[in-house]
């Protein structure tokens, strides 16, 4: 190791310890930010030291869960450098590389905007690109703009890098066209398809000619089995497939995982079809890194959810069921999960508008909250933009007498818990920073561990 | 009274919560004993039989906007005639741009619009993104504010003498320079403000409803509603605009 790099590393590690000691969160990105500022090429050097190279995961939705699933699979045999705290910008990757002593393999979830830079610097062996949905247009810009950046970044990847793509997402599937090393995953089970495309479906016009696709089956948002009636552009042949899917309420999802290495029946301890997509992405990525099918199945079956995405917390005699919502497609899946698994009688929905949530809160109007509103008894609208949420629910026809507006998150959580009978469960649907704050409140009360001690 | 609404291109132009604006109009009409009869109009579809009291055109991403632009331009004469005869119209963001004379892309390309609003839009280098607060004077001596969110690369330039929707208090507005936001031609309003626009600016929703009711032959007077949540949401959004406004 160069003397300069060694010096930078020890200084940056010290900052991480100071940041934790000072009580300002996990200290997960501060050392990386420092290193990133002092010497951005340090990532290249640190990544190059990993004997088994690196793998990246990016997507609008599910990148944290997918990379946690991949860690559960790969971590059975390998020591990983993994950014499990969700610090997914270049600085977060830098921090993880700094902290990972003796790691063999890098596994990084990467923000969709940061992906080109991280791809260039880590020279990954495999990259999983799982989906593109509209998300925080004020921050990321239009979907097509993100896709263009990805296209340019993929074109610059070495031919030997395996590209793992979601074949059910037209904009993402196209990225693997003509690549020698690619794995295409998708769902093939019309019984779990949606009756119609959802309101917020995005890429529903042919990527080649602009004609609306015909869907043989639409699964999550615009993900599905599509074909253009005009030019014939269609979902490519699948390499890794989920079939015979059984959605078992809030507890589990069982499916046949069909791969080039054989077929396994997987009992995934997570609800929702979107988690089948996450499992397919993780399985494909790990197979591309030479994991065995047995390890893939065992890793998926032993999975426990990434913090705050889907989490059950013991709230002292009452349960808390937390599902992150952050954009229309993801929130629609949280709603579907609750509707199919049983809607708790009381809900706290929390909307913040910090940069990480998106300052533009208009997306809540594109979420299909209606099935939830038809079933919920009481709703507490919370967060910095609680009034906006309350308007969303009121104009959807939810009775004002059963709706409360409590902006403060701690007060809203307590009010929600008070609405639940002992032994019952409170549903909590927070945006990203609201989720972090609610988890911090739960951690203060000793109900959960802080996130940087959570998974590892 | 039944209010006939033509929602243009709901499958293409729907990105910033446009259906929220429709939901607000529907409920506020219903609470006053009226009903909204909303017809989605796609490319190539005819307008609803029997006339239209209110047109709604939302916003979309560049790709979807380009897909519907020729169809909208071809409807220009029909829309201009309906508005001249008293129909109300609300166009947001992309819909606002496409109801002007046209959009000049960065590559020099020209996308012709429906030419209802006396304005043109030119693509800029940067996007104008953030919370906006504007002040409107629909009734002399009684200024009212509109709080929303803008996110656009286009710089919209009004013709000399054209009437803006309002004066920018905080944020960018039409072009980030003129100090004006949106455009108004009689009963038609175009604006960059989404969020969506109407839930937290109920006076504007009622103004549009009243114009649509007049066009349908009913009295325009609408009983006031409590609007407590609406005012609370407006106050937070207005505070956001004052505190942070746009960020280029």
- Indicate whether A21 belongs to any domain: no
CB B98 within 8 A of CB B8: no
Q: Encode chain A (456 residues) as per-residue pLDDT tens digits.
A: 466 666 667 766 665 565 555 444 455 666 777 777 777 788 898 999 999 999 999 999 999 999 999 999 999 999 999 998 778 999 899 989 988 889 999 999 999 999 999 999 999 999 999 999 887 776 666 788 889 999 999 999 999 999 999 999 999 999 999 999 999 999 999 999 987 766 656 778 898 888 889 999 999 989 999 999 999 999 999 999 999 999 988 889 999 999 999 999 999 999 889 999 999 999 999 999 999 999 999 999 999 866 667 888 887 789 999 999 988 888 998 998 899 888 999 999 999 999 989 999 999 999 999 999 999 999 999 999 999 999 999 999 999 999 999 999 999 999 999 999 999 999 999 999 999 999 999 989 888 765 544 433
Q: Indicate which of B56, B229, B235, B236 best probes the interface with A, i.e. most A CBs within 10 Å of its own CB.
A: B229
Task: Verify that A203 and A330 share a domain, yes or no.
Answer: no
B residues 18..57 contacting A (CB < 8 A)? 19-20, 23-24, 27
Q: Residue A307's closest CA among A26, A107, A90? A: A26
Is A209 marked within a binding site?
Answer: yes
Q: Measured between CA atoms, how close is B108 to chain A, in angstroms? A: 19
B49-90 tens-digit pLDDT:
889 999 999 998 888 888 899 999 999 999 999 999 999 999
The pTM assigned to this predicted structure is 0.83
- Indicate whether A91 belongs to any domain: yes
Using the 3D structure, point to which of A262, A280, A302 is the last residue of a domain. A302
Cis check: omega of the bond before B196, within 30 degrees of 0: yes
Q: Which 8-state DSSP code applies to residue A192?
A: G
CATH number of the domain residue A269 falls in: 3.40.1190.10
How many separate domains does chain B show?
A: 1
Q: Is the ipTM of this complex over 0.90?
A: yes
Task: Verify that A116 and A186 share a domain, yes or no.
Answer: yes
The Cα–Cα gap between A239 and A219 comes to 18
Q: Measured between CA atoms, how close is B242 to chain A, in angstroms? A: 14
Task: Verify that A222 and A323 share a domain, yes or no.
Answer: no
How many separate domains does chain A show?
A: 2
What residues of chain A lie within 8 A of the CB of B63, using their CB?
A: 142, 144, 205, 210
* Beta strand A80-82 pairing with A105-109: parallel
* Residue with token string 């029997």: B50
Range of the domain at A315: 310-444
Phi/psi of residue A378, each to 5°? -135, 140
Closest residue in chain B to residue A137, using alpha carbons only: B151
Task: Verify that A370 and A297 share a domain, yes or no.
Answer: no
3-state secondary structure of B239: helix
Evaluate the CA torsion angle A68, A69, A75, A76 in order and state its sign.
positive
Helix axis angle, A273-288 to A293-301, nearest 10°: 140
CATH number of the domain residue B200 falls in: 3.40.50.880
| B183 classed as catalytic | no
Instruction: Using a CB–CB cutoff of 8 Å, tell me whether B63 touches chain A.
Output: yes
Give the A:B interface size as CB pairs under 8 Å. 89
Question: Within A224-291, where are the H helices?
Answer: 273-288
Residues paired with B175 in a beta bridge: none
User: What DSSP assignment string belongs to A35-97?
Assistant: HHHH-TTHHHHHHHT-TT-EEEEE-SSSHHHHHHHHHHHHTTTS-EEE-TT---SHHHHHHHH
Task: Verify that A221 and A133 share a domain, yes or no.
Answer: yes
Using the 3D structure, point to which of A302, A336, A360 is the last residue of a domain. A302
The Cα–Cα gap between A126 and A32 comes to 23
* Residue with token string 């913090």: A307
Of B11, B23, B149, the CB nearest to A395: B23
| B93 classed as catalytic | yes
- Indicate whether A454 belongs to any domain: no
Q: Indicate which of B7, B20, B194 best probes the interface with A, i.e. most A CBs within 10 Å of its own CB.
A: B20
What residues of chain B lie within 8 A of the CB of A362, using their CB?
A: 16-17, 20, 149, 194-196
What residues of chain A lie within 8 A of the CB of B199, using their CB?
A: 365, 388, 391-392, 395
Cβ neighbourhood burial of A152 (10 Å; 0-12, 13-18, 19+) = exposed
- Indicate whether A247 belongs to any domain: yes
Q: Measured between CA atoms, how close is B174 to chain A, in angstroms? A: 17
3-state secondary structure of A428: strand
The b-or-e profile of A38-75 (16+ CB within 10 A means b, else e) is ebeebbebbbeebebbbbbbbbbbbbbbbbbbbbbbbb
Higher pLDDT, A194 or B26: B26
Q: How many CB atoms lie within 10 A of CB A79?
A: 16
Range of the domain at B107: 2-244
A377-390 tens-digit pLDDT:
999 999 999 999 99
Task: Verify that A369 and A274 share a domain, yes or no.
Answer: no
CATH number of the domain residue A419 falls in: 3.90.190.20
């Amino acid at each position: 190791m160069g003397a300069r790099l060694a010096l930078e590393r020890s200084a940056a590690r010290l900052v991480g310890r100071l940041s934790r000691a000072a009580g300002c969160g996990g200290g997960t990105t501060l050392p990386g930010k420092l290193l990133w500022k002092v010497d951005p090429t340090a990532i290249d050097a640190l990544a190059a030291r990993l004997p088994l190279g690196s793998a990246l995961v990016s997507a609008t939705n599910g990148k944290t869960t997918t990379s946690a699933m991949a860690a559960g699979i790969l971590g059975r045999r390998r020591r990983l450098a993994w950014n499990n705290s969700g610090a997914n910008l270049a600085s977060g990757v830098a921090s993880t590389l700094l902290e990972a002593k003796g790691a063999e393999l890098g596994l990084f979830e990467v923000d969709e905007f940061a992906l080109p830079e991280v791809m260039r610097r880590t020279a990954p062996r495999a990259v999983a690109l799982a989906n593109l949905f509209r998300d925080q247009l004020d921050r990321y810009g239009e979907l097509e703009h993100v896709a263009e950046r990805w296209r340019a970044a993929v074109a610059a990847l070495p031919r030997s890098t395996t590209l793992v793509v979601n074949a059910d997402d037209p904009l993402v599937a196209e990225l693997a066209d003509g690549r020698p090393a690619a794995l295409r995953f998708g769902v093939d089970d019309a019984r779990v398809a949606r009756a119609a495309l959802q309101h917020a479906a995005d890429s529903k016009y042919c990527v080649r000619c602009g004609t609306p696709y015909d869907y043989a089956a639409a699964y999550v948002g615009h993900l599905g089995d599509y074909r253009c009636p005009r030019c014939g552009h269609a979902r490519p042949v699948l390499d890794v497939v989920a079939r015979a899917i059984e959605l078992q309420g809030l507890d589990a999802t069982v499916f046949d995982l069909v791969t080039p290495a054989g077929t396994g029946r997987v009992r995934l301890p997570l609800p929702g079809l979107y988690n089948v997509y996450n499992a397919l992405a993780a399985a494909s990525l790990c197979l591309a890194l030479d994991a065995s099918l047995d390890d893939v199945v065992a890793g998926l079956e032993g999975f426990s959810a990434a913090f705050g995405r889907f989490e059950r917390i013991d709230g002292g005699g009452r349960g808390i069921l937390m599902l992150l919502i952050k954009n229309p497609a993801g929130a629609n899946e949280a709603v579907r999960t609750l509707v199919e698994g049983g809607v708790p009688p009381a809900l706290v929905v929390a909307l913040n508008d910090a940069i990480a949530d998106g300052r533009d809160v208009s997306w809540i109007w594109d979420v299909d909250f209606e099935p939830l509103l038809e079933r919920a008894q009481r709703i507490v609208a919370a967060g910095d933009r609680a009034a906006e949420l309350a308007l969303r629910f009121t104009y959807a026809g939810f009775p004002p007498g059963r709706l409360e507006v409590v902006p403060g998150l701690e007060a809203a959580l307590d009010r929600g818990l008070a609405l639940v009978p002992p032994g019952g469960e409170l549903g909590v649907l927070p945006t990203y920073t609201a989720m972090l704050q609610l988890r911090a409140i739960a951690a203060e009360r000793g109900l959960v561990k802080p996130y940087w001690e959570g998974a590892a | 009274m039944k209010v006939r609404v033509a929602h243009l291109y709901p499958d293409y132009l729907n990105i910033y919560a446009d259906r929220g604006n429709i939901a607000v109009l529907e409920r506020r009409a219903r609470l006053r004993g009226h009903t909204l009869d909303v017809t989605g109009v796609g490319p190539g579809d005819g307008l609803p039989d029997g006339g239209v009291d209110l047109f709604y055109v939302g916003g979309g991403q560049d790709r979807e906007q380009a897909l519907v632009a020729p169809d909208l331009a071809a409807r220009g004469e029909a829309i201009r005639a309906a508005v001249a005869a008293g129909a109300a119209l609300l166009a947001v963001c992309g819909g606002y741009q496409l109801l002007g004379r046209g959009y000049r892309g960065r590559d020099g390309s020209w996308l012709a619009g429906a030419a209802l609003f006396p304005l043109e839009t030119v693509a800029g280098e940067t996007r104008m993104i953030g919370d906006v607060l504007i002040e409107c004077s629909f009734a002399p001596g009684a200024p009212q504010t509109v709080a929303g969110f803008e996110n656009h690369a286009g710089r919209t330039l009004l013709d000399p003498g054209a009437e803006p929707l309002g004066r920018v208090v905080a944020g960018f507005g039409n072009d980030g320079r003129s100090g004006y936001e949106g455009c108004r031609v009689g009963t038609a309003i175009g604006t960059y403000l989404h969020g969506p626009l109407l839930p937290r600016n109920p006076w504007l929703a009622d103004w549009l409803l009243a114009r649509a009711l007049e066009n349908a032959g009913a009295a325009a007077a609408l009983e006031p509603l409590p609007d407590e949540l609406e005012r609370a949401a407006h106050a937070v959004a207005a505070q956001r605009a004052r505190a942070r406004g746009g960020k280029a």
